[in-house]
């Protein structure tokens, strides 16, 4: 893997003399008023992956987005909460002068050869080469770090005044993702991808409203060999929502490699409408 | 609400002179080798609800089950991680002599009158009065704290030797839940209910295997008025699974009050097969 991919730069952490990991926000993944949340998730995961005592690979990541992240340096404070035979529990916080901006719980677990079963099936779609890529517009740099090809439920953003009386559109979308530039898939990029779906309210309302993810949980179902075998190929994503209520909505997602479910994810998003 | 309901007793916390909350495990909600995980989730949520500085109601709860919980006393250490205009972020740990046994992240958020929309719809089922209640068997006391009435995908546990070559059964089930004795619904009981679904592998395999939830995330979509209006009526639950892979499977759930989605939930479960 190239050490100079922008995602590796954005998630790079250095060990300071006092034992705390430190990093710096990346302009390459900047969103509107702060970093793309997927990179924040990837940074906190990487804080755990970088621990020398870690003995197994990630199975679960929950990130709570607590406050704004300012452009510039941050600390990542990592703690092993408890370790057992099958699982290790870690906590990680991204801290700046204003306090904790994001807090994560990470579980690493020993995968074993056991009975496997996958009730979920991927959607049937056209291959990515047959679908047009989204043309990134606007100032959000993170949109330029992915190639999005919608196979179902594409994003159309229009004028609020003419759309707010319209019936809600479908929350579900199916999209092919690729890192730009290409990068072999690993847990760090999978964590970022699990937050790379557009927030469902944009699909449902088709105009811009204030939104912010408050918490994201991703379960990693793929072992390292499956991720290596996937390589740099596009990942197929499916996202949906169940309910928008009183200023918070949920969002669910799947990430697929061919017939295999790599990760499933859920998030809760604050919105104003 | 009765102060003597076993769920209120099981989640009761007392403030010790050093400012730490303390509680004691409840035999009334005992599972196989420790407390029912739903009560552990409810205890950690209650640790946050009991904080005098709290200014809003829960919207999200993630609990990571880190290690065994011994019968007897425990501490609950609660910390406000960050508070903003719309959300408050809390962390809570259940600690015993052997260390942290469970760690939770809780988000409380200000609900507002905004545009609402619910793409999800409840399953059509028979009313609970027309369905037989599960007869609790075995030593697990927590099973006696709920009345389960399966409307779809009931639980049948048989002999492994005769079943392990059988095709996997459906992971999905639809079940009516009631607290026993009856208790008005609130966030504490909703948190416990979100973990009261049988683990999906028992439905899919139809025999007992070693299982343990490692993490549970529940989003609360209902405001306090909706919970009060629901009262002591049965809650309809829907649960499913997407993938069982290498010793970990996911489980998703919905909790319904009539046409309204009260909560959605996901968990990751360790299994050996």
User: Which band of pLDDT confidence, cut at 50, 70 and 90, is reported for residue A145?
Assistant: very high
Q: Which residues in chain B show pLDDT less than 50? A: 1-2
Does the pLDDT of residue A1 top 50, yes or no?
Answer: no
For the record, the structure tokens of A75 come out as: 């600390």
For the record, the structure tokens of A50 come out as: 């970088």
Does the pLDDT of residue A185 top 90, yes or no?
Answer: yes
Does the pLDDT of residue A2 top 60, yes or no?
Answer: no
- The predicted pLDDT at position B3 comes to 62
Q: Check if the interface score ipTM surpasses 0.95.
A: yes
- The predicted pLDDT at position A138 comes to 87
Cβ(B221)–Cβ(B255) under 8 Å?
no
Tell me which residue of B24, B21, B10, B34 sits closest to B76, measured CA to CA.
Answer: B21
User: CA of B170: which chain A residue's CA is closest?
Assistant: A119
Contact map slice: A 155-174 vs B, CB within 8 A: 168, 170-171
Does the pLDDT of residue A203 top 80, yes or no?
Answer: yes
Neighbours of A139 (CB within 10 A): 8
Print burial letters for B92-116: b (CB count within 10 Å at least 16), e (below 16).
bbbbbeeebbbbbbbbbbbbeeebe
| Cβ contact A60–B214 (<8 Å) | yes
B11 Cα to chain A: minimum distance (Å): 23
For the record, the structure tokens of A97 come out as: 């002068």
Calpha distance A199→A143 (Å, rounded): 13
Calpha distance B110→B253 (Å, rounded): 24
Residue % of chain A over a pLDDT of 90: 91
User: Which band of pLDDT confidence, cut at 50, 70 and 90, is reported for residue A273?
Assistant: confident
User: Which band of pLDDT confidence, cut at 50, 70 and 90, is reported for residue A106?
Assistant: very high
Q: Global pTM? A: 0.97
User: Can you tell me whether residue A39 is helix, strand or coil?
Assistant: helix
- The predicted pLDDT at position A228 comes to 98
User: CA of B242: which chain A residue's CA is closest?
Assistant: A120
Does the pLDDT of residue A15 top 90, yes or no?
Answer: yes
Cβ(B189)–Cβ(B181) under 8 Å?
no
B91 Cα to chain A: minimum distance (Å): 9
Spell out which residues of chain B touch residue A254, defining contact as CB-CB under 8 Å. 242
| Cβ contact A99–B82 (<8 Å) | yes
Chain A interface mutation, best of B219, B256, B273, highest count of A Cβ atoms under 10 Å: B219
- Strand B173-179 and strand B235-240: the pairing is antiparallel
List, for residues A24-51, the tens digit of each pLDDT value.
999 999 999 999 999 999 999 999 999 9
Tell me which residue of B90, B110, B3, B111 sits closest to B48, measured CA to CA.
Answer: B90
Continuous H helices in A130-232: 160-163, 187-193, 200-205, 224-230
Neighbours of A95 (CB within 10 A): 16
Distances (CA, A) of B205 to A157, B49, B92: 46, 38, 35
């Amino acid at each position: 893997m190239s050490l100079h991919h922008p995602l590796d730069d954005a998630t790079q952490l250095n060990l300071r003399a006092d034992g705390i990991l430190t990093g710096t926000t990346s302009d390459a993944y900047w969103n509107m008023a702060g970093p793309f949340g997927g990179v924040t998730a990837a940074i906190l995961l990487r804080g755990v992956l970088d621990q020398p005592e870690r003995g197994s690979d990630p199975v679960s990541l929950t990130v709570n987005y607590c406050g704004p992240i300012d452009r510039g340096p941050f600390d990542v404070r990592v703690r092993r909460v408890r370790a057992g035979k099958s699982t290790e529990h870690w906590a990680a916080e991204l801290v700046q002068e204003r306090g904790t901006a994001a807090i994560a719980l990470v579980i690493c677990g020993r995968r074993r050869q056991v009975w496997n079963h996958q009730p979920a099936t991927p959607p049937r779609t056209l291959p990515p080469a047959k679908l047009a890529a989204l043309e990134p517009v606007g100032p959000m740099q993170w949109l330029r770090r992915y190639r999005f090809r919608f196979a179902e439920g594409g994003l159309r953003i229009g004028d609020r005044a003419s759309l707010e009386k319209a019936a809600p559109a479908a929350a579900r979308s199916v999209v092919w993702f690729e890192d730009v530039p290409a990068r072999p898939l690993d847990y760090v990029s999978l964590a970022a991808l699990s937050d790379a779906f557009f927030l469902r309210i944009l699909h449902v309302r088709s105009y811009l409203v204030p939104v912010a993810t408050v918490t994201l949980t991703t379960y990693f179902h793929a072992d390292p060999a499956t991720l290596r075998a996937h390589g740099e190929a596009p990942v197929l994503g499916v996202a949906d929502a169940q309910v928008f209520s009183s200023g918070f909505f949920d969002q669910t997602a799947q990430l697929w490699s061919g017939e295999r479910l790599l990760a499933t994810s859920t998030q809760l998003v604050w919105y104003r409408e």
